[in-house]
Structure 1
Amino acid sequence: MKKKVITSAFSNLYTDQRIEKVCRTLHENGYQIELIGNDWKGAEQMERPYRFSRIHLSSASLKTAYFEFNWKLYHQLKKKADQNTILHANDLDALLPNYLLAKKLNIPLVFDSHEIFSEMPAIQGKMSQKIWRYLEKEIIPKLTFMITASGSYAEWFRKKYGADPVVIQNAPKKLDFTMEIPNNDPKVFLYQGAINPFRGIDKAILAMHHLDGVVFKIAGDGPRKKEYEDLVLKEKLQDKVQFLGKLKPENLRNITVTADVGMSIEENGGESYLYSLPNKVLDCIQSRVPLVLANLPEMQNIKSRFDVGEIIKDHTPENIAAAVKKVLHKGRKNYLPELDKASDSLCWENEEIKLLEVFENASK
C-alpha cells in the first residue's frame, strides 16, 4: 500500500492546474491523496477523483488570511497526518505548518515552489517581503525534497540556499493535434492567464494601434482588468480588443487552439518573473500556437531549442506589433513542425516521471 499524501496550498484549488496534475498523477499511481486549500476569494464547485477540502477563512485582508490559513492548516495536518504520510506543501505560503509537523512527526515533506515567492512583484519593498525571505532562509536549506517549475528557479535556489530542487515544468498533457488550422479573419492574437501587472498586457493593447486585421483576445481575470478595460476605452480600441473573462480550463483550451498567435511578454518585475516559465507558453505550444515571447531566460531557452515564435526586442508597442506581424506573416502552418517537436518534449508525460521519482524517494 502506497503512502498517504496530504497536499496543501493557499489556493481555492479551482484553477490551479499544476496542483491538479500533480495530485492526479499521484492518485493514478496508487497514492492516497488528500488535498487542502481554502475559500479565500470564493469556493467554486469542483469534482476530483481524490479527497479535497477547503479551509474557511474569515479574514478581510490577504495579510491576515495568510496567518489564519497557516494556523488552521497546522491543526488540520495534525489531525490527518500519521507515520504513513508524505506532506506536500505548495509554495512558501503553505510551507511553515508542513515543515513544523514534518519535523515533529519525523515524516517526509516535499516542497513545490511554483515561483520565487519572496521575490514576487506584489510584495517588493514591503514588510511582508522580509518575513517571507526570513522563512525561506530558515527552512529551504533544511529540506530534503524540493521541486520547482523552471531551470532558472532551480539555479536561483541553488545559489541562494544551497538547495537542489528537481525541475518539474508545469507542462500540459500531450494534445493529439489533428484539427484543421482555422483561417481567421480577423487574425486572433491571444493573451491567457491572470490579468496582473508586469504581464505586458497594457503594452500589447497599445500595440493594437499598429496592427490591422487583428483582434486581441484577453482570456482571464485579475486585479488590473478594470484598468486595462479603461485603457481600451481611452485608446478607442473597443473594436480590436475583447475581454473574455475567467474561463474553465477546458473552455480556455477551446479558445487557445483557435488563436493565430499567443503571447507571453512578461516584464522583469523582480526575480520571480525574470526566471519564470509561464504556463501559457507551454499551453500554446501544446495547442500548436506560435508565440510572441519576452526576452527572458526561460523563453530564450525554449526559442533556442525550438522555433516556436518570435522574441520581442523590448516592450514598446511598436516592437510588440512588429513581432506579431512577423509571426502572422510566417503563418501558423509554417511553425507546425517545430511546435510538434516542442510539444513532444514539453509535456506532462515527461515531467510526471520525475515527479513520481521524487515521491518514491520520499516514501523510502
Structure 2
Amino acid sequence: MKVANIVLNDFTNDSRVLKISKTLGKSGAHVTVFAMHNEGLAEFSEEEFFTTQRVKLSSRKWSKRRIIQVVKYIEFIFRTFSRTKGYDHIHCNDLNSLPIGVMRKLASSKVKLIYDAHEYETEMNGVQGIEKKIIKVMEKLLIGFADKVITVSDSIAEEYVRLYNIEKPHLVLNCPAYIDVSKNNLFRDNFAIHAEQKIFLYQGALNKGRGIEILLEAFKKLNDSTKVLVIMGYGELEKIVKLEADNSQNIFFQPAVKPEVVLNYTSSADFGVSFIEDSCLSYRYCLPNKMFEYTMAGLPVLVSNLVEMKKFVEEHSVGVVSDENTVNGFYDAFSKIEEFDYESLKSNLKKVRKSYCWESQEVELLKAYKELV
C-alpha cells in the first residue's frame, strides 16, 4: 500500500499528520507526506516510517493578495497531483487538499480516497460571504468521491451525515501518544515563576476566536499574584501576546515547540485552559488536541461551555466548564476549580489518559483503512 498524505502547511508542527504517517508506516504502508515548502526546510527528507516531500512553488514569494494566493493554491494542487501518480491511497487532510485526491481518483479508479476533516470545514471561524459559499459547494461536490471520511468529534461526524447523507465518518480523535509524563518545571525555570504561583497554560494556535484576548484581559485585571498565565504557540495574535507579556508581571509567552517535546512543557503547568469562543459551528463542536495534551500531562482543565468539551470534562470529572466566555466567566471558573480536590482531579486524569491516547485512536484509523481493502 502506497499512501500519499497531503497537507497544505509546511509540516513542521502538525502533530496529527505526523501521528497518522507513523501509524500507517508502522503497519507496513509506504507513506509519503506531501506538504508546502518554506525557505530553510528540506525539500526531501527520510523520517522513521515515512518520507516527506515539500512542494516548491514558483509563485511562493509572490504577493499575498487574495487572487495571488489562489494562484499559489492552484500551483500546489497541480504540482502535488503530478507527484502522487502511482499512489493507491490518497489521504487528504482538510478540504483544501481534497481536490488533489479527487483528481487522482478520477485519473485511476483503483485509487482509494480518504478525506480527513480536521474541523467542521465549511463552518470555520472567519469564513464568510462568497468564500463560505464556494467552500460549501466545493465540499458538497467532492465529498462523494471519498471512500472514507474521518472527523475529529462526534458532533461533526453527525453534521456530515445530516448534510451529505453519507455513512457516518470514522472518529479519530487528535490525542497524543500515551506517555507517563513526569512533572517538569520548564516554565518556572525559564520565566522565574515562583513555586507557590499556579500556572494556567494556553497552548495551541494564537488566532482570533480561541479566547486568547479574554485570557489576556482576565490576567491583566487579576489582582492575585498567586496565578500566572503562560501562552504557548504561534499565529496571528503572537505580536499582541508578546506585547502583553513584555508589559505584565503575570503573563508569559513561550514560542511553539516541536510535537515530540510539547508534553514536557505542558506538564510544567498546573492547569490547562481551552477558552474557545462560540463564534462558529466548527468551534462549537470542536474537541481540540490541546484538551488531550492537557489530560495526558495530568493537568485539570478550564474550558468554555461548548458541546464536545463540556461533555468530555463533565463525563470524566477532569476540570471546570465556564458558564460564559467572558472575563467574569473565567474568574468564576477560577473559583470553582479551587474548590475541587486537586488530588481527586489528578486521579481522574490518570484514568482518562489511558483511554484518550493515540494508541487507542490508531486502532480506529487502521480499522478505517482495512475496510477499504
Q: By how many angstroms is 1:156 displaced? A: 1.1
Counterpart check, 1:206 vs 2:217:
yes
42-51 vs 140-149, greater mean Cα deviation: 42-51
Q: By how many angstroms is 1:179 displaced? A: 4.5
Counterpart check, 1:135 vs 2:138:
yes
Paired residues for 1:1-364 under 5 Å: 3-39=1-37, 43=41, 48-49=47-48, 50-57=50-57, 58=60, 59-61=62-64, 63=66, 64-82=68-86, 85-106=88-109, 107-125=111-129, 127-163=130-166, 164-177=168-181, 179=183, 184-208=195-219, 209-210=221-222, 211-230=224-243, 238-330=248-340, 332-362=342-372, 364=373
Secondary structure at 1:175 match in 2: coil
Q: By how many angstroms is 1:124 displaced? A: 2.2
Identity among equivalent positions (%) equals 27
Contact 2:155 2:308 in 1 (8 A): yes
Distance 2:357 2:164 in 1: 29
Relative to structure 1, is the Cα distance of residues 186 and 196 closer, same or farther in structure 2, using a 3 angstrom cutoff? same
Contact 2:46 2:52 in 1 (8 A): no
Q: By how many angstroms is 1:11 displaced? A: 1.0
Secondary structure at 2:47 match in 1: coil
TM-score normalised by the chain length of structure 2: 0.88
179-188 vs 164-173, greater mean Cα deviation: 179-188
Contact 2:3 2:30 in 1 (8 A): yes
Contact 1:200 1:315 in 2 (8 A): yes
Relative to structure 1, is the Cα distance of residues 197 and 216 closer, same or farther in structure 2, using a 3 angstrom cutoff? same
Contact 1:66 1:93 in 2 (8 A): no
Relative to structure 1, is the Cα distance of residues 72 and 244 closer, same or farther in structure 2, using a 3 angstrom cutoff? closer
Q: By how many angstroms is 1:353 displaced? A: 0.6
Q: By how many angstroms is 1:315 displaced? A: 1.7
Contact 2:199 2:230 in 1 (8 A): yes
Runs of 5+ consecutive residues of structure 2 not aligned to the other structure: 189-193
Distance 1:134 1:324 in 2: 43
Q: By how many angstroms is 1:336 displaced? A: 1.3
Distance 1:282 1:25 in 2: 18
Relative to structure 1, is the Cα distance of residues 319 and 258 closer, same or farther in structure 2, using a 3 angstrom cutoff? same
Contact 1:15 1:248 in 2 (8 A): yes
- Quick one: which amino acid aligns to residue 102 of structure 1? K
Distance 1:201 1:277 in 2: 17
- Quick one: which amino acid aligns to residue 146 of structure 2? L
Contact 2:55 2:79 in 1 (8 A): no
Contact 2:176 2:296 in 1 (8 A): yes
Superposed CA deviations along residues 255-299 of structure 1, whole A, max 9, x for unmatched, are 210211110010012111111111110100100100001101111
Superposed CA deviations along residues 78-113 of structure 1, whole A, max 9, x for unmatched, are 34323x611111110000121121122011101100
TM-score normalised by the chain length of structure 1: 0.90
Distance 1:290 1:174 in 2: 17
Distance 1:180 1:119 in 2: 38
Q: By how many angstroms is 1:123 displaced? A: 1.9
Superposed CA deviations along residues 44-86 of structure 1, whole A, max 9, x for unmatched, are 797622211111232432744454344443343334323x611
- Quick one: which amino acid aligns to residue 136 of structure 2? R
- Quick one: which amino acid aligns to residue 300 of structure 1? K
Secondary structure at 1:18 match in 2: helix
RMSD: 2.4
Q: By how many angstroms is 1:42 displaced? A: 6.7
Superposed CA deviations along residues 209-242 of structure 1, whole A, max 9, x for unmatched, are 2343111000011101223444567xx6x10101
Runs of 5+ consecutive residues of structure 1 not aligned to the other structure: none
- Quick one: which amino acid aligns to residue 282 of structure 1? F
- Quick one: which amino acid aligns to residue 256 of structure 2? K
Distance 1:175 1:262 in 2: 18
Relative to structure 1, is the Cα distance of residues 65 and 252 closer, same or farther in structure 2, using a 3 angstrom cutoff? same
Distance 2:145 2:102 in 1: 10
Distance 2:303 2:369 in 1: 33
- Quick one: which amino acid aligns to residue 180 of structure 2? D
